[in-house]
Structure 1
Amino acid sequence: MLIDFNNLNINNLSFNTEFEKKVKIFLKEWFSEIPVVDVQTSGSTGKPKIFEIEKKKMLNSAVMTCNFLGLKEGDKALLCLPVEYISGKMMVVRSQERKLKLIIAEPSLKPLEKLDEEIDFCAMTPLQVENSLDKLHLIKNLIIGGAATSESLKNKILKINLSASNRIFETYGMSETLSHIGLKQLMPESEDFFTVFENVTISLDERGCLNIYAPNVNDEELQTNDLVEIKNDNQFRFLGRIDNVINSGGAKIFPEPLEALVKKEITNEVIFTGLPDESLGQKLVLIIEGSESDEIVNKISEIPFKKSFHRPKKIIFIKEIPRTPNGKVNRLELHKLVDENI
């Protein structure tokens, strides 16, 4: 179905599928007199929680994204993310704020399967992009969020014959920043640093983790557990999450850069984690999604890790890595699953 926010009458729309009905519920909530909206966090790094967000803050966020991408009234957008989470809700709010025409597609791993026309804007998870490479040329402005974009996915995107008018960005943000506060371009030019929106201030704490002050979307200064390198007042590079750090024999190991390195060589989803070890405290373990493969093990043995302790002490193949409903790797559940099966 398609919702034209320039000529919106909710009562005249037919909401048939379960997902469309959820969109209708959110639309009624959005246009009600209640000034706040309930949002659920993904629970990828902790217990899921529900908190209230002011609608005016969501509108401010929508303005920042739409202005950054140059979206205008009458442009077409595609919603293919769950509306229980901020990612899906903000697609609706952006469409309402900029008076877009919003196509409603059931959230799935192949959200572009039935798309046969060009659209101006879409937000997807890396997994959705991975399964939609053949139709990315139909999207003029694509933002990828919910999880980091792997090196293997970036390489696949680079191999697609896209035009200069096809722009692809990786997002940085969280529920508390109302989806995202910065973007990093992947196509047509590849950037190393995220650029934050106007009126967003970034700094480091004593641990080297990112502080965010974005008064347009949140009155409080947000302290993250994300280790970053700050280039200037509005650009930073993500290094990894401090709570994912593995302490092995006194050496602090950040899994995200290692995962990016391995994904340059293999297409499988991979996660580095630490398991208890009597002598090391934690031993570095590589978890690979998929069937056990000597070929993959051999490829990993040939990877030139910068440090000897970056090489995994053990490789574990797992049928399916647990994920949250919006596609993020659930490291907590993965760690429990591995602990139970070793």
Structure 2
Amino acid sequence: MVSKFNNLRINNLGAGAEFEKKIEKFLEDWFSDSGTVEVQTSGSTGTPKIFGIEKKRMMNSAQMTCDFLGLKEGDMALLCLPVEYISGKMMLVRSIIRHLELFISEPSVKPLENLNYTIDFCAMTTLQVEHSLDKLPLIRNLIIGGAAVSESLKQKIAGSENRIYETYGMSETLSHIALKQLAPVSEDYFTAFDHISISTDSRGCLKIYAPELNEEVLQTNDLVEIINAKQFRFLGRADHVINSGGAKIFPEQLEALVKKEIPAEAVFLGLEDERLGQKLILVIESDDSDEIRERIKSIPFKKNFHHPKEVLFVSEIPRTPNGKVSRIQLKEKISQEKKHQ
């Protein structure tokens, strides 16, 4: 179909009527006289918020991504993310400003099911990528967001000849402000776009100055290692840090080790403990397995206190609507279950 908005060409690859309506609603808002559109945060680190974003700043963000990837007028893009969130909205804005031909697929864990030809650009969550490995060769430029890319997923996509990137960003930065290439070249650090400056606060958490995207200096809770003026390595979130017996533990780093060994979602949590302050536990999204337990015992953790004091198996780990693990809900779930044991 051809959209009535700015001659944006939209091709439906199995998206339902409800998803089409949400796209039409955003386009109506975008081409209205208002200078802003409303965006909802994911709620992965707290209560979801809705706030207004200036359209000109969204256009600046879209320009940065399109320029970095070398997208040109007439290239084909695929939207398979919810348009309630900044990730889906920005795919639409990129298509509008760069005059891309847009294909839409229902947001699901298998959004590429009906794709049978090559697309120039797509943004997906880690969960979507996990369920679309056979179709990834059809995507010339893929960016992955929503959650950190696991070590096991990195290994699965390492042989790709097409360009695949992990993103760094948040709603307040209008999607990503930095990319880390995973294939065909594997990079160790995120590289920030032009016109973006990075630094850290006294805690070692990333500060972002991106005047074309947000007039304020954005203070994150992400602990990073600054490599140079443009590159940084993500260590973990300050609010995820577990203090066990006086030792600070970064769960994201331990999860990366575990996911090299087991083909399942793994989350480290700190549960309240009278002796340690917080007891390190590992939650695995799987049926209880002696084989997995043995694999975990053999993982070469750098410190003895990195070994989990307890390993729990759950049928499903809570996630936010856009696919991120909800550590808050998971911790509440585990704590409640333990109270009733």
CA RMSD in angstroms comes to 1.5
C-alpha change, 1:278 and 1:27, in structure 2 (3 Å) is same
CA distance in 2, matches of 1:221, 1:132: 37
TM-superposition CA deviations, 1:17-54 (whole Å, max 9, x none): 10011000000000000000000000000110000100
Aligned to 1:169: 165
Give the secondary-structure state (helix, strand or coil) at the position aligned to 1:120. Answer: strand
TM-superposition CA deviations, 1:223-251 (whole Å, max 9, x none): 00000001100010000000000000000
CA distance in 1, matches of 2:89, 2:16: 19
* Cα pair 1:123 1:145 within 8 Å, conserved: yes
Aligned to 1:224: 220
Aligned to 1:51: 51
* Cα pair 2:165 2:180 within 8 Å, conserved: yes
Aligned to 1:261: 257
CA distance in 1, matches of 2:98, 2:71: 7
Aligned ranges 1:54-133 → 2 under 5 Å: 54-133=54-133
C-alpha change, 1:265 and 1:2, in structure 2 (3 Å) is farther
Q: Tell me, yes or no, if structure 1 residue 197 matches structure 2 residue 197.
A: no
CA distance in 2, matches of 1:48, 1:7: 33
C-alpha change, 1:304 and 1:2, in structure 2 (3 Å) is farther
User: Tell me, which stretches of 5 or more residues in structure 1 are unaligned?
Assistant: none
C-alpha change, 1:158 and 1:62, in structure 2 (3 Å) is same
CA distance in 2, matches of 1:233, 1:8: 38
Give the secondary-structure state (helix, strand or coil) at the position aligned to 1:298. Answer: helix
Q: Which amino acid aligns with 1:332?
A: I
Structure 1 residue 7 displacement after superposition: 3.0
CA distance in 1, matches of 2:249, 2:181: 27
Q: Tell me, yes or no, if structure 1 residue 293 matches structure 2 residue 289.
A: yes
TM-superposition CA deviations, 1:176-196 (whole Å, max 9, x none): 000010100000000011010
Aligned to 1:272: 268
* Cα pair 1:58 1:90 within 8 Å, conserved: yes
Structure 1 residue 5 displacement after superposition: 7.7
Structure 1 residue 4 displacement after superposition: 9.8
Aligned to 2:305: 309
Q: Which amino acid aligns with 1:228?
A: V
C-alpha change, 1:124 and 1:2, in structure 2 (3 Å) is farther
Aligned to 2:210: 214
Give the secondary-structure state (helix, strand or coil) at the position aligned to 1:262. Answer: helix
* Cα pair 2:73 2:99 within 8 Å, conserved: yes
* Cα pair 2:5 2:27 within 8 Å, conserved: no
Q: Tell me, yes or no, if structure 1 residue 147 matches structure 2 residue 147.
A: yes
CA distance in 1, matches of 2:85, 2:151: 26
CA distance in 1, matches of 2:155, 2:16: 38
C-alpha change, 1:3 and 1:258, in structure 2 (3 Å) is farther
C-alpha change, 1:202 and 1:231, in structure 2 (3 Å) is same
C-alpha change, 1:5 and 1:102, in structure 2 (3 Å) is farther
CA distance in 2, matches of 1:142, 1:196: 17
CA distance in 1, matches of 2:310, 2:2: 50
* Cα pair 1:110 1:128 within 8 Å, conserved: yes
Task: Return the TM-score normalized by structure 2.
Answer: 0.96
CA distance in 2, matches of 1:283, 1:235: 34
CA distance in 2, matches of 1:99, 1:277: 56
CA distance in 2, matches of 1:251, 1:7: 58
* Cα pair 1:5 1:102 within 8 Å, conserved: no
CA distance in 2, matches of 1:135, 1:258: 30
* Cα pair 1:181 1:196 within 8 Å, conserved: yes
TM-superposition CA deviations, 1:137-162 (whole Å, max 9, x none): 00000000011000010011125xx3
Structure 1 residue 16 displacement after superposition: 6.0
Structure 1 residue 278 displacement after superposition: 1.1
Aligned ranges 1:240-255 → 2 under 5 Å: 240-255=236-251
Structure 1 residue 78 displacement after superposition: 0.3
Structure 1 residue 304 displacement after superposition: 1.1
C-alpha change, 1:121 and 1:2, in structure 2 (3 Å) is farther
User: Tell me, which stretches of 5 or more residues in structure 2 are unaligned?
Assistant: none
Give the secondary-structure state (helix, strand or coil) at the position aligned to 2:166. Answer: strand
CA distance in 2, matches of 1:66, 1:221: 24
CA distance in 2, matches of 1:225, 1:202: 14
Give the secondary-structure state (helix, strand or coil) at the position aligned to 1:28. Answer: helix
CA distance in 2, matches of 1:4, 1:290: 47
Q: Which amino acid aligns with 1:301?
A: K
